[in-house]
Amino acid sequence: MATTADLKNGITLEIETQLWTVVEFQHVKPGKGPAFVRTKLKSVLTGKVIDRTFNSGVKIDIAILEKRDMQYLYKEGDDFVFMDSKTYDQMTISAAVVGDMANYMLENTDAVVAVNEGNPLYIELAASVPLRITYTEPGIQGDRSSGGTKPATVETGIEIQVPLFIKQDEIVMVDTRDGSYQGRAN
């Protein structure tokens, strides 16, 4: 338990059995009436952002989020198996928790798994990951100056847009936030 005076950006609160991260907060002391704290909260599970006001000095529940460095090992049915990099314990995480990050994970990919009371909440990957192009049409001679793009399938199975000069079997960097092409991998 804590009070509104303990609020800071990035802290996770438990409100009505849901977890919310404080995006921003502001202590307000109006000329008339009691002080209060205006907050912007983001749902840990859905990403929904809400505004919430707390009276000053109110007790709030702070949730303990543990972020573990883990490595993706393999897929088992619809679930994903991860291994803790420090303890070597394995954890099975459902596809619903992994979400779109499955599109950018190969075996042995490093990830950060946020855990609350033993339950995995979400997965974070690096901002961009190297993936091999498994199929793309060859670029047409003369189209190189137009700066156009073409579809390409990467080894995880998703399709991204790449410049016309990219060939099959090249390794490219893909942004894990929106699936965009970032450049060739070194």
Inter-residue contact 19 to 121 (CB < 8 Å): yes
pTM, 2 dp = 0.72
Domains and CATH numbers, the chain: 2-62 (2.30.30.30), 66-124 (2.40.50.140), 128-184 (2.40.50.140)
Tokens read off for 137? 């049409």
151-177: pLDDT as tens digits: 999 999 999 998 888 888 999 999 998
Contacts 24+ apart (CB under 8 A), 2-7: 2/59, 2/60, 2/61, 2/62, 3/57, 3/58, 3/59, 3/60, 4/37, 4/54, 4/55, 4/56, 4/57, 4/58, 4/60, 5/56, 5/57, 6/60, 6/62, 7/37, 7/39, 7/60
**What are 103-144's pLDDT values in tens digits?**
999 999 999 998 888 888 889 899 999 999 999 888 766 555
| Residue appearing with tokens 């006001």 | 53
